[in-house]
Structure 1
Amino acid sequence: MKLVLVRHVETFGNVERRLNGHTESQYTRRGEAMKELLVEELIALDEKLTFDKIYASPTSRAFKIAADVGAATGKQIQVDNRLQEFNFGIFEGKTSDECSETAKTEWDLWMDDYLDYVVPEGQSQREYHTLCKEFLAELNPDETVLLVAHGGTVHGMLTNLLELPIDSKWHFDIKLGSITVVNYNDGFGMLSTMMTPAYDELIVDQPPLGEANISIMKAAVAND
């Protein structure tokens, strides 16, 4: 099995450094331009690999990319709720500073045990990891699969496929609009490719991505 794991492009939530898991957030102007370039890249990749299935998160920032690829390649998109970003519960839509100000006790508990603490109205990182594992177990081992989702989703898939501890995900820099390819055969996963189109060079009328690329959760855990 070959899995092509794609993270969505820049949204206002990324720029504003908000914990948007299930919360919708629209593309920025730069994100719109990134989307066009990413879709072109994925269409070209389909010509080389031939995607047997295309799966997408139901959240629009990921789904729109998959839908455009599907429309261009004549392939149906399968939406799966397990591919949504981590559910931040009471912290949804907030910056880390706002989380600490409005729910300091819960925020501190989460930062002290971010893997197993169940965020109120949300989930724990370990629960999220298990959802990714369940999804992977249902895939056809003989197919090439395109999966368009979120940074957290890609991290969850990678740690499962490569049989790594959950917190080792921070060693993988999953950039906005990136493409990660993993070969998975007989229960053994091998990271094949990690690439990101040269958005900063190709989108000349917009400033570089900068901090929008940095994981908000990684920054929060590292700074705690």
Structure 2
Amino acid sequence: MISSPLKRADETAKIISKYYNSEYIIDNRLIEFHTGILEGKSDDNSWNQLFKLWNKWITDDQASNESLPGGESRDDVVRRLDHFFKDLIADNNENDIIFCISHGGVIITGIPNVPIIKNTENLKHYDLKNTDIVEILYTKNEGFICKNYGPA
């Protein structure tokens, strides 16, 4: 099991690892995307700025390199997820089951755009909800294939 270091993901990983009597590791590449100058803010103006950028990322591939000042772009998120998935191949066996705990922003903006993951064409317009599951299968012959994206 691999988890983002953020509190809500780490707490989930602790609960699951206790239930399955297994260990987990932290990987910063699963952390939520960095919102720069809006980090830690929750006022209406900040949310509006974030949602404006978010909608551009989802609807306009030409906006993938845009970010809030000091924050990550969609391209940044995709690059770190691409490296993460490539490392999964290098560090694990084909039949390993790996449970990853991350965050909606990274999953929604990243997974549909990571070039090594296949079967993501229709994912850009699906809004994941809390506790939804994304299942990605890896085989040496086919590579990464998104099998499930949404409710379990």
Using structure 1 for the length normalisation, give the TM-score. Answer: 0.52
Q: Is the 8 A contact 1:141 1:185 kept in 2?
A: no
Stretches of structure 2 that go unaligned for 5 or more consecutive residues are none
Q: Is the 8 A contact 1:58 1:79 kept in 2?
A: yes
CA RMSD of aligned residues (A): 3.0
Counting only pairs closer than 5 Å after superposition, residues 89-108 of structure 1 correspond to structure 2 as: 89-94=36-41, 97-99=44-46
The count of corresponding residues between Structure 1 and Structure 2 is 137
Q: Which has the higher contact order (CA 8 A, sep 6+)?
A: 1
AA in 1 matched with 2:126: F
* C-alpha distance in structure 2 between counterparts of 1:64 and 1:100, whole Å: 25
Counting only pairs closer than 5 Å after superposition, residues 51-62 of structure 1 correspond to structure 2 as: 54-62=1-9
* C-alpha distance in structure 1 between counterparts of 2:39 and 2:70, whole Å: 10
Aligned to 1:215: none
AA in 2 matched with 1:162: K
Counting only pairs closer than 5 Å after superposition, residues 28-39 of structure 1 correspond to structure 2 as: none
AA in 1 matched with 2:76: E
* C-alpha distance in structure 2 between counterparts of 1:185 and 1:172, whole Å: 25
Query: Does structure 1 residue 75 correspond to structure 2 residue 22?
Result: yes
* C-alpha distance in structure 1 between counterparts of 2:73 and 2:106, whole Å: 14
* C-alpha distance in structure 2 between counterparts of 1:79 and 1:100, whole Å: 28
Counting only pairs closer than 5 Å after superposition, residues 181-200 of structure 1 correspond to structure 2 as: 181-186=135-140, 187-196=142-151
Indicate how the Cα distance of structure 1 residues 98 and 132 shifts in structure 2: closer, same or farther if over 3 A, else same: same
Counting only pairs closer than 5 Å after superposition, residues 18-167 of structure 1 correspond to structure 2 as: 54-94=1-41, 97-99=44-46, 114-139=63-88, 140-142=92-94, 143-155=96-108, 156-160=110-114, 161-162=117-118
Shift in Å at residue 115 of structure 1? Answer: 1.3
Provide, for residues 13-63 of structure 1, a one-character-per-residue CA deviation record: whole Å limited to 9, x for no partner: xxxxxxxxxxxxxxxxxxxxxxxxxxxxxxxxxxxxxxxxx0000001111
AA in 2 matched with 1:58: P
* C-alpha distance in structure 2 between counterparts of 1:76 and 1:196, whole Å: 26
User: Identity of paired residues, percent?
Assistant: 24
Q: Is the 8 A contact 2:133 2:150 kept in 1?
A: yes
Counting only pairs closer than 5 Å after superposition, residues 175-214 of structure 1 correspond to structure 2 as: 175-186=129-140, 187-196=142-151
Q: Is the 8 A contact 2:123 2:149 kept in 1?
A: no
Shift in Å at residue 182 of structure 1? Answer: 1.7
